């Protein structure tokens, strides 16, 4: 009889323990005031930012997503800090050799994860079934016990100029409310309000396929119940977007709108 009772109690503990661990993780995320901003791609000495770039300089200059975010991530951080949140900025590579970008990186305290091979695939330390290029940034983000993780990118779908307007926040499952709030905010303040998008609103796409770009960054965050998304809302291959973003005043507005969207979400939790 005593043995039966022990087995029964053991079975109940086994059933409840994962649920408790899940609830504890969810509570930790909800109580967190830290947002991690990851600058996408990396800077290669002599070659510059290794993300997507404009086909040429005809739309107000060259625009490359990694370099763009080194220049403007401080605006996102400023919005978050003004609203009372802590902000950690990461990049999977090393400090840029370009003096202006290096100065910008130092000013906002970018943590360079130094993958150490920024182009190699790594397993996540937190969730080893997840693997991707750049996943060590996601791991570092989870080390920070964040409320949210934002992977800062610009979109591109062509090597030549092409009018593309179907940009979106690519998010994990637990990131849908955040992505929706952010999309609503940029649709209210940015798309069609300075940033030309031919009437097409910014979308929200759930990405759970680890084989697709950034899929496992989002999955590993989802495994820890952390809302995460990739900002693929404007296209460097769209001449209208490039012309807009090549103006520093517009670029700052764009970056700040992303920060404002995150704040609106965090305040709604
Ligand atoms: Zn990118």
What are the tens digits of pLDDT across the range 76-115? 999 999 999 999 999 999 999 999 999 999 999 999 999 9
Residue 126 CA, ligand 1 centroid: distance in Å: 23
pLDDT score recorded for residue 194: 97
Ranges of residues in the chain whose predicted pLDDT is under 50: none
Residue 192 CA, ligand 1 centroid: distance in Å: 23
Q: How far apart are CA 16 and CA 78, in angstroms?
A: 42
Residue 6 CA, ligand 1 centroid: distance in Å: 54
Q: How far apart are CA 90 and CA 94, in angstroms?
A: 10
Residue 69 CA, ligand 1 centroid: distance in Å: 10
Domain ranges of the chain: 38-268
Buried b / exposed e across 41-63, counting CB within 10 Å, b at 16+?
Answer: bbbbeeebbbbbbbbeeebeebb
Residue 65 CA, ligand 1 centroid: distance in Å: 6
Of 254, 256, 264, 241, which is closest to residue 180 (Cα–Cα)? 264
Residue 170 CA, ligand 1 centroid: distance in Å: 12
pLDDT score recorded for residue 83: 98
Task: Answer whether 252's CB lies under 8 Å from 241's CB.
Answer: no
Question: Which pTM does this prediction carry?
Answer: 0.94
Residue 230 CA, ligand 1 centroid: distance in Å: 9
pLDDT score recorded for residue 14: 61
Which CATH topology does 38-268 take? Aminopeptidase (3.40.630)
Residue 152 CA, ligand 1 centroid: distance in Å: 8
Residue 121 pairs in a beta bridge with 133
Tokens for 116? 């150490």
Of 135, 112, 137, 113, which is closest to residue 123 (Cα–Cα)? 135
Residue 51 CA, ligand 1 centroid: distance in Å: 5
Residue 129 CA, ligand 1 centroid: distance in Å: 23
Q: How far apart are CA 233 and CA 167, in angstroms?
A: 4
pLDDT score recorded for residue 19: 87
Residue 9 CA, ligand 1 centroid: distance in Å: 50
Whether the CA torsion 91, 130, 151, 194 is positive or negative: it is: positive
pLDDT score recorded for residue 17: 77
Q: How far apart are CA 47 and CA 206, in angstroms?
A: 33
Task: Answer whether 140's CB lies under 8 Å from 252's CB.
Answer: no
Instruction: Write the DSSP assignment of 41-109 as a string of letters.
Output: S-EETTTEE-S-B-SSSTTTS--BHHHHHHHHHHHHHHHHHHTT-EEEEEESS---SSHHHHHHHHHHT
Estimate to the nearest angstrom the gap between the alpha carbon of 133 and the chain centroid: 14
């Amino acid at each position: 009889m005593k043995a039966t009772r022990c087995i029964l109690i053991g079975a109940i503990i086994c059933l409840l323990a994962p649920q408790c661990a899940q609830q504890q993780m969810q509570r930790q995320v909800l109580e967190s005031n830290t947002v991690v901003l990851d600058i996408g791609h990396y800077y290669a000495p002599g070659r510059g930012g290794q993300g997507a770039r404009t086909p040429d300089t005809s739309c107000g200059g060259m625009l490359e997503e990694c370099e763009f975010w080194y220049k403007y991530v401080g605006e996102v951080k400023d919005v978050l800090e003004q609203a009372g949140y802590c902000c950690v900025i990461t990049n999977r590579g090393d400090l840029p050799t370009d003096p202006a970008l290096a100065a910008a990186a130092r000013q906002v305290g970018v943590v360079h994860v130094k993958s150490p091979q920024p182009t190699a695939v790594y397993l996540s330390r937190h969730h080893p079934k997840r693997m991707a290029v750049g996943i060590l940034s996601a791991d570092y983000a989870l080390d920070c016990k964040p409320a949210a993780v934002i992977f800062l990118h610009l979109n591109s779908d062509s090597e030549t100029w092409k009018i593309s307007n179907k940009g979106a926040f690519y998010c994990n499952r637990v990131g849908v409310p955040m992505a929706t709030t952010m999309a609503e905010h940029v649709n209210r303040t940015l798309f069609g309000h300075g940033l030309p998008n031919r009437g097409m609103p910014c979308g929200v796409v759930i990405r759970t396929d680890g084989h697709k770009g950034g899929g496992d960054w989002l999955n590993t965050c989802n495994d820890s119940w952390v809302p995460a998304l990739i900002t693929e809302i404007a296209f460097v291959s769209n001449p209208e977007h490039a012309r807009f973003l090549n103006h520093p005043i517009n670029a700052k507005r764009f970056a700040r709108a992303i920060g404002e969207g995150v704040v609106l979400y965090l305040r709604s939790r």
